[in-house]
Amino acid sequence: MRTEVAIVGAGPAGLLLSHLLARAGVESVVVETRSKEYVASRIRAGILEHSSVELLTEAGLGDRLRVEGHQHRGVYLQWPHKRHHLDFVDLAGRSVWVYGQTEMQKDLVAAHSGPVLYEVSDTRLHDLTTDRPYVTFRDRDGAAVTLEASVIAGCDGSFGPSRAAVPAPARRVFERTYPYSWLGILADVAPSTDELIYAWHPDGFALHSMRSETVSRLYLQVPNGTDPAAWSDAQVWDELAKRLGHGQDGWTLAPGPITDKSVLPMRSFVQTPMRYGRLFLAGDAAHIVPPTGAKGLNLAIADVALLARALIALVKERDAGPADRYSDDALRRVWRCTHFSWWMTTMLHASGDPFDAELQLSQLRWVTTSTAGATGLAENYAGLPI
């Protein structure tokens, strides 16, 4: 097989890239190890930045988002006996939207027209520093396939073959692991809040998020290595009620049936550069952020917006300028979001050290009472223009 752009990975990054390229008349083929059903059903992020929504709308992917998604002006930050609303619209002129990655993936699949080969195996990338790179894999029936391309886009996450295809001397890896994880639940119950609540608590962080008027998504800080089955539903709700301040100023947390329970490890990871010869990395293939602040999906969308422009210029206009600048341009945003995610994480999670706890509370008081402090958080959370 031959195509212009071989895309490894059919998650939001890979499918959005393929969609933006197709709109500009650039052909691509997407390969994916998982099944279509698995990719469409996995539970992931839920918050879209202002610029992500603008980009999806311009790409013709905003119709359902604008009907079924929910625009939020800001978030609540809280600690015991205090809850503050930060209004991003007032502070930074930008809002965010609640719309699940699962829903965005469905929209991408529905809008997509080019070939996507699911359930491939043994994917390998070859001859990346030549102008005839290619990908080999086995299709779902086990037949060996060679896919030749002008360029390869690695959109296959941090465990995929793309980032590992960059030889060690050419790549640098920056990494931080955190001494805690999140226990995340999805519950069939109306959210107990109009906008997200980020709660600092001496026993650990908690977050009240949502997916719709009838589905809530909540998280608890738990120790690394926690088995989700070790937490009963009643224990989860009790701990959430305590950390989120049930009873505080008349606020109550409504529990409901839990439909999913899982543990997410937290890590920061950046691999540079994001380009090696004819291979371009986008999304989790190049970087992972801890979830606090909801940057992962938005960063993937921002990478893809830059990469689509760069590849269209390269393939259609034979202009290599944007492609040559892609890694540096994308990494500026990647490091800003890496810092913001690390900062939100360290500000809100209990470390067990009383000195850390006092610094965190001081920082929370500053961020909620100083316009300068609040504006910094708002700009980063609602997202800078792409």
Q: Which residues are catalytic?
A: 72, 198, 291, 295, 381
Nearer to ligand DHB, 49 or 329 (CB): 49
Which range in 1-9, 43-51, 155-163, 272-280 contacts ligand DHB by CB under 6 A?
Answer: 43-51
Would you state the structure tokens that stand for residue 358, as one six-digit string? 């006092």
Query: Per-residue contact track with ligand DHB, 62 to 101, x per CB under 6 A?
Result: ----------------------------------------
Choice from 20, 47, 77, 165 touching ligand DHB (CB under 6 A): 47
Q: Phi first, then psi: give them for residue 66, nearest 5 degrees.
A: -75, -20
CA gap 272, 290 in Å, rounded: 18
- CA angle at 295 for the pair 255 and 306, rounded to the nearest 5°: 145
**What is the smallest separation between the CB atom of 8 and ligand DHB, expressed in angstroms?**
25
Contact range with ligand DHB by CB under 6 A, out of 20-28, 33-41, 44-52, 345-353: 44-52
Nearer to ligand DHB, 46 or 157 (CB): 46
Query: Interface with ligand DHB includes 133 (CB under 6 A)?
Result: no
Site for ligand DHB in 229-268 (CB under 6 A): none
Smallest gap, in angstroms, from Cβ of residue 99 to ligand DHB?
A: 10
- The CA distance from 294 to 312, in Å, is 29
Residue 28 to residue 162: CA distance in whole angstroms: 17
Spatial contact of 169 and 214, defined as CB atoms under 8 Å apart: no
Q: Which two tokens stand for residue 384?
A: 């800078």
**Total site size for ligand DHB, rule CB under 6 A:** 11
Nearest distance from C-beta of residue 165 to ligand DHB, angstroms: 29
- The residue among 91 and 186 lying less far from ligand DHB, judged by its C-beta, is 186
The DSSP call for residue 329 is: H
- Please identify, using beta-carbon distances, which residue of 133 and 184 lies nearer to ligand DHB: 184
Binding mask 266-305 for ligand DHB (x = CB under 6 A): -------------------------xxxx-----------
Positions in 172-231 near ligand DHB (CB under 6 A): 196, 207, 209, 217
Residue 262's nearest CA partner among 295, 300, 236, 294 is 236
Strands annotated E in the chain: 5-8, 28-31, 47-49, 70-72, 74-79, 82-87, 96-98, 116-117, 121-126, 134-138, 144-148, 151-154, 172-187, 197-199, 206-210, 216-223, 258-272, 275-276, 279-281, 287-288
Q: Nearer to ligand DHB by C-beta: 311 or 348? A: 348
Amino acid in position 95: S
CA distance 327 to 364: 34
Q: Residue 125 interacts with ligand DHB (CB under 6 A)?
A: no
Q: Which is nearer to ligand DHB, 147 or 199 (CB)?
A: 199
Cβ within 8 Å of residue 39, ≥6 positions away: 10, 11, 32, 105, 118
List residues near ligand DHB by CB under 6 A.
45-47, 196, 207, 209, 217, 291-294
